[in-house]
Amino acid sequence: MGRRMPSLRHEALLELFRNRPALAAELLRDALGVELPAYAEARAESAELTQVVPTEYRADLVVLLWEDTPRFAIVVEVQLSPDEEKRYTWPVYLTHMRARLRCPTVLLVVAPDAAVARWGGQPMELGHPGFVLRPCVAGPERIPVITRPEQAREAVELAVLSAMAHGQGERGAAIAEAVLPGLVGVDDERARFYFDLVMCSLNDAARTALEALMRGGTYEYQSEFARRYLAQGRQEGRQEGRQEGRQEGRQEGRQEGEVIALLEVLEARGLQVDDQTRQRIAACTDLEQLRRWLRRAVSVQSVQDLFEPAAT
């Protein structure tokens, strides 16, 4: 059986591990509780098996933890849908890598979808008494929710993975907002790639809220990269008030842009805005208040909740 062509999302997830091989070890240790040996370096290695094994047996990625010699091997498999064939090939990856490297080897299945994660975590009875493979699965419930900028600065790939796993939920905008400071210092090409992954992972309301926050001239984590990104790729379909909101120093334009963005988020979430509420929002001249409402609009259950005092 020939290998399936990888999807763009599949390759994007793998790229996170290629760019930061230690991400595999961090997920195993911190999210899944796997005890790892001390190591000096994590390396992404070729996932090709030797010519003795048929060519269809090729793992997605192998990460080696080094301390002079390989101390531990992690076979990383990104799984976006159930594939019963993997229940036969995964044991091959593990046993072959263990024989080749002469070190402990573990299978890490990365599955951003909860149903796929449950499928991937099922134990595999191999037939030999006591020989059961139980994959280590990083599903949504195991992938951490990264909402603090300092976390993203320390491990931007983990923050992007968090957005890809949780971006459709009510905390999607907060996760995406935390990713932005993590892009500072990242080369431009990789920053654009990560930003695209995050934006594509958000629901419409979270995406609109994040774009509006980034357009604001006083947004703490706005970067030169983010400004260029928005100028090049986020202008389609914007109304005149929001276009004016991009022009630095034009208070009225920025205010109108925030109002329109807030109303769009509420509309995208299916929350009805009556005329009185619309007028209240439009009459607000405090940009910071508008942005607080915008952040809350992503998760409130009703429009009235928008104006309730925030819980402490």
Per-residue pLDDT tens digits for 214-236: 665 444 444 555 555 555 544 44
163 vs 192, more confident:
163
- CA dihedral angle for residue 245, residue 207, residue 24, residue 8, rounded to 10 degrees: -110
114: CB partners within 8 A, 6+ apart: 139, 140, 141
**C-alpha to C-alpha distance for 121 and 142, rounded to whole angstroms:** 12
Is 268's pLDDT higher than 70? yes
Is 238's pLDDT higher than 90? no
Indicate the burial class of 27 (C-beta count within 10 angstroms; 0-12, 13-18, 19 or more): buried
Instruction: Provide the pLDDT for residue 274.
Output: 86
**Whole-Å CA distances, 308 to 171, 243, 278, 304:** 19, 30, 16, 7
Instruction: Provide the pLDDT for residue 299.
Output: 75
**C-alpha to C-alpha distance for 271 and 185, rounded to whole angstroms:** 39
**C-alpha to C-alpha distance for 59 and 214, rounded to whole angstroms:** 39
**C-alpha to C-alpha distance for 277 and 296, rounded to whole angstroms:** 15
**C-alpha to C-alpha distance for 12 and 1, rounded to whole angstroms:** 24
Residue type, 158: L
Instruction: Provide the pLDDT for residue 50.
Output: 47
pLDDT level of residue 275 (50, 70, 90 thresholds) = confident
**Whole-Å CA distances, 138 to 77, 119, 144, 296:** 10, 12, 10, 29
**C-alpha to C-alpha distance for 177 and 162, rounded to whole angstroms:** 12
Instruction: Provide the pLDDT for residue 291.
Output: 78
Residue 41 forms beta bridges with which residues? 66
Over residues 9-36, the mean pLDDT reads 95
Instruction: Provide the pLDDT for residue 243.
Output: 46
Question: Domain-by-domain residue ranges, the chain?
Answer: 8-138, 162-233+242-303
Over residues 57-73, the mean pLDDT reads 91
CB 101 within 8 A of CB 64: yes
Helices 156-166 and 8-19: crossing angle, nearest 10°?
A: 150
pLDDT level of residue 24 (50, 70, 90 thresholds) = very high
Strands 105-110 and 124-125: unpaired
Give pTM, 2 decimals: 0.74
By C-alpha distance, which of 195, 125, 187 is closest to 167? 195
**Cα Rg of the chain, angstroms:** 23
**C-alpha to C-alpha distance for 201 and 168, rounded to whole angstroms:** 7
Is 74's pLDDT higher than 60? yes
Is 121's pLDDT higher than 60? yes
DSSP string, 208-227: HHHHHHHHSTT-TT--HHHH
